[in-house]
Structure 1
Amino acid sequence: MKITVTIDQPTGDFQDRLLALLAEYAANVETDATWSVPRAENYYTRLPPRAQRIVREAVARGGYVSADDLRDTPDASLRGHSGALTRALSSGAAAGEWPEGMPLPVLAQGPGFGKVVGYRMPDDLLDVFRTAVTNIDGQQPTTEK
Structure 2
Amino acid sequence: MRIIVTVEDPEPGFLDKFTALLAEHGAKVELDTEWTVERATRYYRELPPRAQDIVRLAAVQDGLVKADELRKDGGDSLRGVSGPLKRTLDRGVRQGWWPEGMKAPIEPQGPGFGKVKGYIMPLDLVDVFSAAADNTEKEN
TM-score by length of 1: 0.86
Shift of 1:6: 1.4
Matching residue of 1:51? 51
Q: Does 1:21 align with 2:14?
A: no
Matching residue of 2:120? 120
Shift of 1:13: 8.9
Shift of 1:119: 0.3
Shift of 1:61: 1.5
Q: Secondary structure of the equivalent of 2:18?
A: helix
Shift of 1:59: 1.1
Q: Against the structure 1 CA distance between its residues 9 and 127, is the aligned structure 2 distance closer, same or farther, given a 3 Å change threshold?
A: closer
CA contact (8 A) 2:11 2:96 kept: no
Higher relative contact order (CA 8 A, sep 6+): 2
Residue identity in the other structure for 1:126:
V
Q: Secondary structure of the equivalent of 2:34?
A: coil
- Range with greater deviation from structure 2 (71-80 or 44-53): 71-80
Shift of 1:11: 5.1
Matching residue of 1:75? 75
Matching residue of 2:32? 32
Shift of 1:101: 1.4
CA contact (8 A) 2:13 2:94 kept: no
Shift of 1:9: 3.5
Matching residue of 2:86? 86
Matching residue of 2:96? 96
Q: Secondary structure of the equivalent of 2:87?
A: helix
Alpha-carbon displacement from aligned partner over 1:30-78 (angstroms, at most 9, x marks no partner): 1111000000000001100010000011112111011100111233311
- Range with greater deviation from structure 2 (95-104 or 13-22): 13-22
Q: Against the structure 1 CA distance between its residues 9 and 129, is the aligned structure 2 distance closer, same or farther, given a 3 Å change threshold?
A: closer
Q: Against the structure 1 CA distance between its residues 10 and 64, is the aligned structure 2 distance closer, same or farther, given a 3 Å change threshold?
A: closer
Q: Which runs of 5+ in 1 are unaligned?
A: 140-145
The alignment's C-alpha RMSD in Å is 2.1
Distance 1:71 1:134 in 2: 23
Distance 1:12 1:48 in 2: 23
Distance 2:14 2:85 in 1: 30
Q: Which runs of 5+ in 2 are unaligned?
A: none
Matching residue of 1:8? 8
